[in-house]
Amino acid sequence: MKIFLGSLFFIGVTPKTGVTPISYCDMIEVMIGKKKVITKKSEDFSRWYTDVVQQAELADYAPVKGCIIFRPYGYALWEGIKKALDAKIKAMGVENAYFPLFIPQEFLQKEKEHVEGFAPELAVVTHGGGKKLEEPLIVRPTSETVMYAMFSKWIQSWRDLPLKINQWCNVVRWEKRTLPFIRTTEFLWQEGHTAHAEHKEALDQVHAAAQAYEEIFKDYLAIYGITGFKSNSEKFAGAAASLSYEALMPDGKALQSSTSHDLGQNFAKAFEITFQDQKGKNQYVWQTSWGLSTRAVGGLIMVHGDDNGLFFPPQIAPIQIIIVPIYGGDEEGGLVKQYVSELKSKLIEFRVKVDSREEYSPGWKFNEWELKGVPLRLEIGPREVKSQTVMAIRRDTGDKTSITTSELTEKVTMLLKTQQKDALERSRKFTEENTHLVDTYDQFKEIMSGPRGFIKAFWCENPGCEAKIKEETKATTRCLPLDAVEEKGKCVYCDEPATHRWLFAQAY
Ligand SMILES: [Zn+2]
């Protein structure tokens, strides 16, 4: 049956016929239960999302509700982010370390806002080694408290500053509503924590981290977004100020994709982190913390892709090039195999995979790697061997280019670069087209009950108005963009004077 399907397909792709045989093959493969079927992105975005996550083998649901298993293909995305971001973190002079998973309960209670913010979602260990613990342990929801207890021991003098530490780890927040990668009870992230002698220096660090995140999102994940300050009610529990990167998803909801916090001296006071300055005077340190989590993988899946499945921008794609050999007859098949292996050796600078499985037809493979979002497919059959070419197909546009062997690396580099650039441009264009400048509350409500998206509207910065807007439209302030200019306006909710247009959206 399998051989039959393969040869059937091969007859179909004979270039002169000019027909697309995939649908015919697909039909048979659906009939025999081989083809994966996903909901169309254009028809039902949220079902498409959960379909692709599972069908592309990115993640699976864990036995414990709200947790997911990162399957190798999904974990490879996180590894890609980790590699790129870790280099940036180190370039900021930050060193990696590792702190324990368990935090004594009393630590968490030291900073008032912090404990209030996290209390509802804490996982608490009450028993260990078969005995009830004298003091319950908290499974870290974030590591400020356990780290800063140590910071207070390690920092004595101005000579010990700045102290810059990052850790890659898992954290647990008991979430009520979960969605793979976007919001899970346990997730992976990095958390950077620094202590400085001067507030100015800490602020520089907050902005440097925000900048590094923006580069990861734009240059690697091709996700356009907006960096800005969170409002008081939306900022991190215990922070003096928070910056976030807000990206618009295809359903018009915003994803807070990373955060960087100016902690001021709040934690320094709670944990007694002091240093003797150069004049011999005791001072509290100024601190920062900043994080990017596996939620970024969720954003990556959502932003790109189409009805046929995923699309991963080449910079982050675990597989950048998939080679699908079309073997033909026995004699031709041997030549194709040899040609494919020669070409693969020319492409060592890329992440390349050859799908040489003979039990699947080329049509099935095309479908599979489209679903899995590999940016570039190279088809190689007897015809290509003869003409010393390959047929390259872009995943994002479907454009086909015949490339001669002599210019293979050069052309492939160009095609991947173009796809990377185009992906960010699509994301930017989508965001711009779905950002509404709004001056009346009626218009605000109309947009939030309809197409959604970002709204730029004046807000008086009174938390009461913010709360009412959230209650009535489900939209929250996402941030005050860093490039927002001071203007004279009236609050979209209460008409009181306002100085800036804030970015609003319904959020994940
Ligand atoms: Zn107001």
Give the pLDDT score at 503.
98
Distance from Cα 140 to the centre of ligand 1, integer Å: 37
| pLDDT tens-digit map of 206-227 | 999 999 999 999 999 999 999 9
Distance from Cα 498 to the centre of ligand 1, integer Å: 8
Give the pLDDT score at 17.
35
| Domains along the sequence of the chain with CATH | 70-303 (3.30.930.10), 312-429 (3.40.50.800), 435-505 (3.30.110.30)
Compute the distance between CA of residue 382 and CA of residue 329 in angstroms, rounded to an integer: 9
Distance from Cα 500 to the centre of ligand 1, integer Å: 12
Distance from Cα 472 to the centre of ligand 1, integer Å: 14
Distance from Cα 113 to the centre of ligand 1, integer Å: 24
Distance from Cα 495 to the centre of ligand 1, integer Å: 6
| Average pLDDT of the segment spanning 155-173 | 98
| pLDDT tens-digit map of 438-486 | 999 999 999 999 999 999 999 999 999 999 999 999 999 999 999 999 9
| pLDDT tens-digit map of 100-131 | 999 999 998 888 888 888 888 999 999 999 99
CB burial of 469-500 (b: ≥16 within 10 Å; e: otherwise) equals: bbeebebbbbbbbeebeeeebbbbbbeeebeb
Distance from Cα 260 to the centre of ligand 1, integer Å: 27
Distance from Cα 231 to the centre of ligand 1, integer Å: 13
Distance from Cα 494 to the centre of ligand 1, integer Å: 4
| Average pLDDT of the segment spanning 257-264 | 96
Residue indicated by tokens 């008409």: 495
Residue 363 dihedral angles phi and psi, to the nearest 5°: -60, -40
Distance from Cα 460 to the centre of ligand 1, integer Å: 4
Give the pLDDT score at 29.
55
* pLDDT reading at 26 higher than 70: no
Q: What percent of the chain has pLDDT over 90?
A: 87
* pLDDT reading at 373 higher than 60: yes
Q: What percent of the chain has pLDDT over 70?
A: 93
* pLDDT reading at 191 higher than 80: yes
Greater confidence (32 vs 262) lies with 262
Closest to 413 in 3D by CA, of 349, 324, 343, 322 = 349
User: Can you name the residues that pair with 501 across neighbouring β-strands?
Assistant: 458
The tokens for 404 are: 């001669």
Mean pLDDT of the chain: 93
Give the pLDDT score at 4.
38
| pLDDT tens-digit map of 35-79 | 688 999 999 999 999 999 999 999 999 999 999 999 999 999 999
Give the pLDDT score at 333.
85
* pLDDT reading at 181 higher than 80: yes
| pLDDT tens-digit map of 396-408 | 999 999 999 999 9
Distance from Cα 115 to the centre of ligand 1, integer Å: 29
Residue 121 dihedral angles phi and psi, to the nearest 5°: -120, 25
Greater confidence (361 vs 11) lies with 361
* pLDDT reading at 311 higher than 90: yes
Compute the distance between CA of residue 411 and CA of residue 313 in angstroms, rounded to an integer: 17
Distance from Cα 482 to the centre of ligand 1, integer Å: 21
| pLDDT tens-digit map of 312-364 | 999 999 999 999 999 877 788 889 999 999 999 999 999 999 999 999 999 99
Closest to 225 in 3D by CA, of 417, 435, 436, 395 = 435
Angle, CA 312 vertex, CA 293 and CA 451 arms, to 5°: 75
Give the pLDDT score at 2.
38
Distance from Cα 497 to the centre of ligand 1, integer Å: 8
* pLDDT reading at 7 higher than 60: no
Give the pLDDT score at 330.
76
Distance from Cα 490 to the centre of ligand 1, integer Å: 8
Distance from Cα 442 to the centre of ligand 1, integer Å: 15
Distance from Cα 200 to the centre of ligand 1, integer Å: 31
How does residue 493 score in pLDDT terms, banded at 50, 70 and 90? very high
Closest to 96 in 3D by CA, of 163, 26, 167 = 167
Distance from Cα 462 to the centre of ligand 1, integer Å: 6
Distance from Cα 114 to the centre of ligand 1, integer Å: 27
Which regions of 207-295 does DSSP assign to beta strands (E)?
Answer: 226-229, 241-248, 254-264, 274-276, 282-284, 286-293
Residue 69 · residue 60 · CB < 8 Å: yes
- DSSP letters spanning 52-109: HHHHTTSEEE-SSTT-EEE-HHHHHHHHHHHHHHHHHHHHTT-EE----SEEEHHHHT
Distance from Cα 443 to the centre of ligand 1, integer Å: 16
- Which residue stretches of 168-323 are H helix? 199-215, 266-270, 295-303
* H-helix or E-strand spanning residue 413: helix 408-433
Q: By mean pLDDT, which of 13-22, 66-75, 192-201 is the weakest?
A: 13-22
Distance from Cα 466 to the centre of ligand 1, integer Å: 7
